[in-house]
């Protein structure tokens, strides 16, 4: 599937959080769907981050690129 660098957060939540993501070549995917796929190991270089009880997809730390999926 997609590497972290081809996944972008849409910032479409009430406070700018990602409720959906855009995956290059695939289009828009809901946060819940992407989190499920990451947990299944379908997206290398990406992990699940939990904040205030809500799970989000994030890029793994990388010395060459920021680890935030939005960068």
**pTM summary value:** 0.83
Return the closest-CA partner of residue 57 out of 46, 66, 67, 65.
Answer: 46
Phi/psi for 39 (5° steps) reads: -65, -30
Given a cut of 90, is residue 34 above it in pLDDT?
A: yes
| pLDDT confidence of residue 60 | 85
Using pLDDT thresholds of 50, 70 and 90, give the confidence band for residue 2. Answer: low
Q: Rounded CA gap, 18 and 62, in Å? A: 21
Retrieve residue 41's tokens. Answer: 């190991």
Give the residue ranges of DSSP H helices in 20-70. 31-39
């Amino acid at each position: 599937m997609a590497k972290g660098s081809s996944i972008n957060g849409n910032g479409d939540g009430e406070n700018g959080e990602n409720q959906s993501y855009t995956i290059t070549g695939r289009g828009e995917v809901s946060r819940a769907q992407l989190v499920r796929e990451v947990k299944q190991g379908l997206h290398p270089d990406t992990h699940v981050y939990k904040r205030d009880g809500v799970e989000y997809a994030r890029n793994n730390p990388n010395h060459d690129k920021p680890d935030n999926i939005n960068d």
